[in-house]
Amino acid sequence: AQSVTQLGSHVSVSEGALVLLRCNYSSSVPPYLFWYVQYPNQGLQLLLKYTSAATLVKGINGFEAEFKKSETSFHLTKPSAHMSDAAEYFCAVSAKYGNKLVFGAGTILRVKS
Amino acid sequence: EPEVTQTPSHQVTQMGQEVILRCVPISNHLYFYWYRQILGQKVEFLVSFYNNEISEKSEIFDDQFSVERPDGSNFTLKIRSTKLEDSAMYFCATAKLAGGSTDTQYFGPGTRLTVL
């Protein structure tokens, strides 16, 4: 079985500051890991995914995440926050392709000017 | 860029009524999913569908729910007799078969179902 824990339901950063959103997973098999973003009143958009290739994954909008097996983590980072990054971010895990995604509770990112 | 589309965007219904939520997958995608998100809660998996049959379903997906691909293009979720607790945003997601590598699930914009 898989599960995801996102530490911090709300994160607030200043514009230009580092963004760090935390995600820890539990999986009985090698996981596939994803970050999705949800803007207000919109669906889920894929930011990036880990599929057992490179452990450092780069995604859209300047985001990246690093898979750390020893820490069972897949934290999302961006060096410099922009106002347009304000949204809710979901970490998700899947056991293999075609399988269901198991989502974390989400982290709402607020960017202050 | 191809997108998953869902209709309607918002559905209001009376408790006990049947609703059908529709999804048009990306054209070469073969895996289909329904998820839901009750306001303020996690996105939850409901069901996956491949090769015209259910691959997996959650405990939420009871006999009141059904899915089908009636015409080879649309993918539908039917709730036979809606309950207040069915009020949620329902997301359709689709993915293509990609050999041994993982499939990215692409999500539609969702249908907000309100049961009164």
- Chain A residues touching residue B45 (CB < 8 angstroms): 100-102
pLDDT of residue B21: 97
Q: What is the mean pLDDT of chain A?
A: 92
pLDDT of residue B99: 57
Cα A47–Cα B29–Cα B68 angle in degrees, nearest 5? 115
Average pLDDT score over residue span A4-31: 94
Between CA A103 and CA A41 the distance in angstroms is 18
pLDDT of residue A18: 98
pLDDT of residue B30: 85
pLDDT of residue A21: 98
Which residue from B45, B98, B106 is facing A97, i.e. has the nearest CB? B98
Checking if the pLDDT of B59 tops 80, the result is: yes
| Percentage of chain A exceeding pLDDT 90 | 79
| B34, B15 contact by CB (below 8 A) | no
For residue range A19-45, list pLDDT tens digits in order.
Answer: 999 999 998 888 889 999 999 878 899
pLDDT of residue B28: 83
pLDDT of residue B98: 62
For residue range B68-77, list pLDDT tens digits in order.
Answer: 998 878 999 9
For residue range B94-111, list pLDDT tens digits in order.
Answer: 988 765 554 788 999 999
Which residue from A101, A104, A106 is facing B45, i.e. has the nearest CB? A101
- Chain B residues touching residue A106 (CB < 8 angstroms): 42-43
The residue among A6, A33, A44 with the most chain B CBs within 10 A of its CB, best to mutate, is A44
What contacts B52, CB < 8 A, 6 or more positions away?
Answer: B69
Which residue from B35, B97, B102 is facing A32, i.e. has the nearest CB? B102
Residues 41-60 of A with CB under 8 A from B: 42-46, 49, 51
| B32, B92 contact by CB (below 8 A) | yes
CB contact under 8 A, A103 and B102: no
CB contact under 8 A, B102 and A46: no
